Structure 1
Amino acid sequence: MTNLRPLHLILAVIALVAIALPLVVTHLVPQVRQPTGIASTLPAKRVVTAKELPPVEPVEYAAIAPADARSINAKVPFITGPVPPARPFRFVGGAEDFARATDCLAAAVYYEAGDDAVGQRPVAQVVLNRLRHPAFPKTVCGVVFQGSERSTGCQFTFTCDGALARIPSPAAWSRARDVATRALRGEVEKKVGWATHYHTDWVVPYWSSSLDKIAEVNTHLFFRWTGWWGTAPAFNRIPQPGELPIGKLAMLSPAHRMGAALADADAAIVEATPFFGRTPLPLASDQNTFLTMLNPAQADTYAGMALAACANRERCKFMGWTEPDGMAFTMPLNPDQMNAMSFSYIRDRQSGLERTLWNCTEFKQRTPCMKRFAIRATPAPVAAEAPAELDGVRRKAAEAPVGNMTGVE
């Protein structure tokens, strides 16, 4: 037995080394640290029932390096089901509302996607999708600037991170406004469907893992809510007029100039004056043209409104509609918009032209009347000709025609 003791001692030492060595190695060898906020810690998908409104989460990103974020985002699969396109958007409101909505949407597409129409169009679609969803504000500017009064919590980061101090070039701003105008007039970016969320591929928002990933455009990934809230029937809210001026856009947009002070003034006017009675703003693309909604019960005020709007302009066009569905928001007008027009005032002092014209089908006791236009399914090309004559307007035999001043272009 005595001869076995050294052997037992050796075996005991070996056993101790076998147990201790992994512990020592574990403490001495640097551990591979997983990035904070890895996908396993992000919220799992949760289908919100149709009986409850899905929450609108503030923008909050996991603390992940861009390379890690791209890796995580790439591993999230796109859905395999259909991605039906959104319905064409129909704007509700007057020319003043349209001007403000256009510039809010233009700011969103420019600051979120840069000077790139391919990237801007899906951003515009997301904004309009949100506008029609009951979980979000009821106006374009309300959607874009939701939460911007706080340093955190804004839905679009450019509205609260100081990016608006970087003014785009006039050409870039014009291109962004064109994308916005087309979207507000019904152009649809089909690829992103009913997406309500997006983010760049180098960040991981905490909400991204709980939504359906449906599309990728450039570096942006687009998502929709899971379940019923991501389907077309959920986007059933009719947008509301009343786009308030945004002080942060004052440097970019005449329609938003004076910001909060203008908003207070507008609020006071609204209390005392019907919406349709306010003097409209001119088109951003033509400061001598006014397109507006009119109250059919206030026909006696139309001429005064036109004169107030045109003020001292040498040339001016003031055109109004009493039916929102027929109203135009940009020029030129199509035949349907011409026929739906209720009233127009045209002025060209250089040629001595100044006329008020009426839709005499709607206002039977007023003259002179606008000419009605036949609607052709496929208009044939025609040679250049003088502008169509208007009922009630006489032209001097030697007078040169005044281009684009008919009031029913």
Structure 2
Amino acid sequence: MATTLPPLGLPHRLGIPLPILGILLVIGLAALAIPALIVAKTPRVVFQKPPHVVISTRVVPRTELPAVEPVKLQQVTETDAKTINAAIPFSTAPNPAARAFRIFGSLDSQARAVDCLAAGVYYEAGDDAVGQRAVAQVILNRMRHPAFPKTVCGVVFQGQERSTGCQFTFTCDGAMLRYKPTAAAWGRAQAVARMALNGSVYAPVGHATHYHTDWVVPYWSASLEKITEVHTHLFFRWTGWWGTPPAFTRAYTGIEPNIGKMALISTSHTGAPTDPSLLPEAAAAASLDPLASVDPASIKASDVPAPTPDGNSFLVTIPKGMSPDSFASLAIRTCGERTYCKFMAWADPGKTPRNLPLGSSQVASMSFSYLRDQNQGFAKALWNCDQYQRPSPVQCMRAQPLARPAPPPVETAPTTEPGRPAGPAGLSGVRRKEPSTGSTPPVAEPAPIGRPQRSFTLPAPKVTPTPATRP
């Protein structure tokens, strides 16, 4: 009797031997298990902010002026910097455009402002018109903010005396020595600067006072409000009241300093020092400020006096016929390379004091003053605008009221009472009893502990008239 066998499986139908089939199954299982095991054992990669990145989020109150600190960058890679910057959200608050600015002052001063602004936009944004307009607006915003200098050149070259940490890196990292713009590129940068200084406003950056490229992370980046981006630059404003339009109230001084470093690329700035790190005031001292309308040879040696005994103060009579625009030049030349200097001048020789300190009448009659303190990054010239008309009230001294002489002391004659010797006249600190006027003076009620003292007035006693007696 024939035996019936079960139907053969697929391997037998394909002619695959069972040992080989087992090997194939093992290989297939391994191909599935090994990748799954690798995925399971590999640690998950999650981006985290580097632990050494410090971000401040403090909002400066209105009663405290924001500090302008040297620029310092976080030590992160470009990739991490872009990730961190992208994580900072844009502000959703309104972003109003800044007010238009129109420059004034002497033609020489305006030319220096144009070239300082042109240098700022070229070295910060390259030969890119849109980026240059954005940078120019930030510089003008800074000039109007109380935390920054009140000149274009002062803003651009703030902190240039440092080897690092200046506000605009090209002013202290040697960029101006390493390369210069071509004539065509310089002309385009000057055109952008002239537009900004004559009413053109780049609205997208609003009232931004800070910016940086997206591949670096300054320490202040997350403490400010990010308001817009232009190409690879991110623009920020201060948080709170200091970033709003009412905070931008400072007026332009109208007198641009002579920057020695600018003489490398500008014909409007002269007297470039051999040491590129020399302060602009020292550079101006090396040659006559272009604001001056007086020939240096016409200023006699006697017009530049010796300092007062402290060595840093000068009491000067202004040379007859000197233009008011020349006073600052005379002050800078007189101060020389002093770190701290006070220059005070009078047009009337009869009112020029011989020594310090000054009286109130001498301060009120002063015609011009100049104060320099390089340790604080400060230099300011002021005119007596009652004597000289100036283009801006920022250049005017405050009116000094004359001090009134103290009235002479009143000597009280000694009071002599019957049967009592007179006391010494003019004895200070002694209160004398006033004569009675028919009413009782206020009497202080002793106050119990914990209660404020109060006073009241007793009613005057009634006086009953005595009836007349007939003789």
TM-score by length of 1: 0.58
Q: Is the counterpart of residue 255 in structure 1 residue 259 in structure 2?
A: no
Partner of 2:96: 84
CA contact (8 A) 2:101 2:200 kept: yes
What is the distance in 2 between the residues matched to 1:137 and 1:108?
15
Cα displacement string for residues 4-25 of structure 1 (whole angstroms, at most 9, x for unaligned residues): xxxxxxxxxxxxxxxxxxxxxx
Distance 2:129 2:51 in 1: 33
CA offset at residue 37 of structure 1? 5.6
The structural deviation recorded for 1:251 is 1.7
1:274 aligned residue (297, 303, 323): 323
Deviations 1:302-333 (A, max 9, x none): xxxxxxxxxxxxxxxxxxxx9959xxxxxxxx
Q: State how many pairs are aligned.
A: 256
In the aligned structure 2, how far is the partner of 1:159 from the partner of 1:262? 15
Where does residue 112 of structure 1 map in the other structure? 124
Within 5 Å, which residues of 2 pair with 1:102-181?
Answer: 102-165=114-177, 166-181=179-194
Residue by residue, what CA displacement relative to the aligned partner does 1:160-218 show, whole Å, maximum 9, x if unpaired? 11111211100000000000010011100000000000000000000011000001001
Amino acid at match of 1:249: M
Judging changes above 3 Å, is the alpha-carbon distance between structure 1 residues 216 and 33 closer, same or farther for their aligned structure 2 residues?
closer
Tell me by how many angstroms 1:47 deviates.
1.4
Query: 8 Å contact 2:56–2:219 — kept in the other structure?
Result: no
Distance 1:43 1:245, change over 3 A: same
Task: Indicate how the Cα distance of structure 1 residues 34 and 269 shifts in structure 2: closer, same or farther if over 3 A, else same.
Answer: same
Q: Which one of 215, 225, 241 corresponds to residue 202 of structure 1?
A: 215
1:4-403 alignment, distance < 5 Å: 36=50, 41-165=53-177, 166-259=179-272, 263-264=284-285, 265-266=287-288, 273-276=322-325, 324=391
Question: What one-letter code is carried by the residue in structure 2 that aligns with 1:263?
Answer: A
Counterpart amino acid of residue 323 in structure 2: P
CA contact (8 A) 1:42 1:209 kept: no
Structure-2 separation of matches of 1:100 and 1:37:
45
Deviation, 1:152, is 1.8
Kindly state the Cα deviation for residue 46 of structure 1 after the two structures are TM-superposed: 1.6
Question: 1:30: how far off?
Answer: 12
Q: Is the 8 A contact 1:213 1:221 kept in 2?
A: yes
Measure, in 2, the Cα distance between the counterparts of 1:43 and 1:97.
40
Counterpart for residue 365 of structure 1: none
DSSP-derived class of the 1:255 partner: coil
Question: Equivalents in 1 of 2:272, 2:141: separation in Å?
Answer: 26
Relative contact order (C-alpha < 8 Å, sep 6+): which is higher?
A: 1
Give the C-alpha shift of residue 55 in structure 1: 0.7
Change (3 A) 1:107 1:141: same
Cα distance, 1:162–1:227 mapped onto 2, change above 3 Å: same
Structure-2-length-normalised TM-score: 0.50
Q: d(CA) in 2 for partners of 1:237 and 1:121?
A: 21
Structure 2 partner of 1:316? none
* Structure 1 unaligned spans of 5+: 1-28, 279-321, 326-409
Distance in 1, matches of 2:288 and 2:270, equals: 12
Q: Find the counterpart in structure 2 of residue 317 from structure 1.
A: none
What do the CA deviations read for 1:101-123 (whole angstroms, capped 9, x no partner)? 11110000000000000100010
Identity of aligned residues (%): 58
Partners of 1:277 and 1:56 in 2: CA distance = 32
Residues 130 and 136, structure 1, Cα contact 8 Å, conserved in 2: yes
Flag the structure with larger Rg.
Answer: 2
Instruction: Please identify which structure carries the higher helix content.
Output: 1
In 2, Cα distance between the equivalents of 1:207 and 1:236? 23
- CA apart distance, 1:81: 1.5
Q: Is the 8 A contact 2:254 2:391 kept in 1?
A: no
Deviation at 1:246, TM superposition (A): 1.1
Q: Per-residue CA shift, 1:56-103, capped at 9, x if unaligned?
A: 121100001001100110111000111000000122321111111111
Letter aligned with residue 208 of structure 1:
S
Q: Is the 8 A contact 1:92 1:240 kept in 2?
A: no
- TM-aligned CA deviation for residue 31 of structure 1: 10
Superposed displacement of residue 248, structure 1: 1.1
Tell me: CA distance 1:168–1:37, structure 2 relative to 1, closer, same or farther (3 Å): farther
